[in-house]
Amino acid sequence: MDASALDDDKDESSPGLPSRRRTDTSDSVRVLKPRRAAPADAVRPTRAEVNLAALRHNLRVIARHAGRAKVWPVLKADGYGHGAPAVARTLERAGAEGFCVALLEEAVELRDAGVRAPILVMGGYYGGAYEEIVGRGVVPVIYDGSHLEGLARASRQAGHPVDAHLKIDTGMARLGVRMRDLESFAAELARFPEVRISGLMTHLACAEAAAGSEGSGFTAEQVALFEEATTRLARAGVSPQVRHVANSAAVLRGEALFDAVRPGIAIFGVSPLASGGALELRPVMRVRSEIVDLRTIEAGESVGYGALFRATRPTRIATLPMGYADGLSRHLSNCGHVLVRGVRAPLVGAVSMDMSMIDVTDVPGVGLHDEVTVLGSQEGLSSRDGRDALSAEEIASQAGTIAWEVLTSVSRRVPRFYREP
C-alpha cells in the first residue's frame, strides 16, 4: 500500500479546509477544494482499491500507442472516480507530461496536491476566476470573446502574458469556435496581445465507432476540418506550438495523434473500442464491501423497497452496506451481480441508497463479514471456491449505461485505498 498516497489523500479530505477567494473587477469568486472520505477515517467496510502499478502499466501502453506524441491523461471527474490527486502524483512520477481536467476546481485540487506538471482546463466555464487561473499557472481552453477579456485583465494584473489553448468545433456542436467564425475570432484575438494561443484542439465525437459503422468515417471528417482550421488560423496570424485531438479510442487506433494525446478511460484500464482492442490494459479500480447481515426468507416473502423480489424457495439473503449513493446503480436492481467467495450472487430487490441485498443461497459456506466484490476480480476463499471478475463494461451493459459512468459514479463517500501489489 502506498502510505504517502493515503496520508496526502487524508489531508485533502479533511473538514474545515479554507477556501481560496479571488477577486476580479466584477465580483468575488471562491474556488473550493472538493472533499472525499479518507481511508484513515473509514468505518464501513465499503471501499475502492486503486492499483497504482496497473495505472503506471496503462500509461506505458498508451505511450507506446501514442508514438512521439506527448501523453496528457484526462483526470476530470475526480480522475474518473479513482481519486485525482493520488492518481496525478503517481502518473507524474511515471512520466506523464501534463494533465487535462474539465473544471478549474479540479485544477486547483491538483495544484494543492503538489502536482507541478502543466494542467489544461477544458470545460470553458471560468466565472470570474481568471486571476485564479493565472495565479495557479494552469492553462485554460478558450473559444469565446469573454475568455479573452478576462484573461487579458488577469494578465495585466499579474504583469506577464498568459497561455491558452483554442478549441475548434469540428462537429461535436458543444464547445469551440465554429469553422465559419475562425477569421473573426482571430481578429478579436489580435486585440488582446496579453493572451498567447499556445495550443489548438478539437473534440472527437465518434472515435469509438467500429469500422464500417455509421460513425466510423466521422473522425476522418473532423480531422480534415481541424487541418483546415490550422491552415486558416495560420494565415490569420495564429500558429500554436502544439495541437491535440486524440482521446483514448483514437490513441488505441493510432489516429489523430498530432503533438499530444488526451487519454481518459484507457488510463484506468478500460478500452473504449467496440472491438475490445488494447487488451493489454489493466483495470485500476476494485470496489469491495462485506456482508453485514444474513437471514433466510421463505417462499413468497419479499425483499427491499417496493417488494420487487419475491422468493420462490427458501432463500438466503445477505445485506451489504453499499447502495446507489455509493455508485451501485439502482438500474442493477434484480439484474446485477456481485462476487462472494469467487461465485456470482445476484442482486435482489431494489438497490437502495445505502444498502443492497444479494441472494447467496447457492454460495457454499457463506458467512458474516465475507468479502463482496462489486467491481473487479475476486478469488475464492479455498481451492474449492471459484475466481471471477466483474468489469466496468459488463456492469454498464447490465445497467444500461457506459463504463465511464460506472467508474465516475463511485462516490466520494467511498474511501480510496491506494495499493502497490
- Which amino acids are annotated catalytic? 76, 305
CA distance 114 to 89: 8
- Contact present, 261 and 69 (Cβ < 8 Å): yes
Tell me which DSSP letter residue 247 carries. Answer: -
* Cβ contacts of 226 within 8 Å, gap of 6 or more: 168, 170, 200, 202, 243, 245, 256
Q: How many CA atoms lie within 13 A of 85 on its CB side?
A: 26
All cell numbers assigned to 97: 507530461
Q: How many helices (H) and strands (E) are present in the chain, helices listed first?
A: 12, 23
- The DSSP letter of residue 39 is G
3-state SS, residue 40? helix
- Nine-digit cell at 4? 504517502
Give CA–CA dist 146/232, Å, rounded.
Answer: 22
Cell of residue 180, nine digits: 465559419
Pairing state between β 387-390 and 28-31: unpaired
Question: Using alpha carbons only, how large is the chain's radius of gyration in Å?
Answer: 24
Nearest in space to 167 (alpha carbons), one of 251, 92, 262: 262
Q: What are the grid coordinates assigned to 78, written together?
A: 475526480
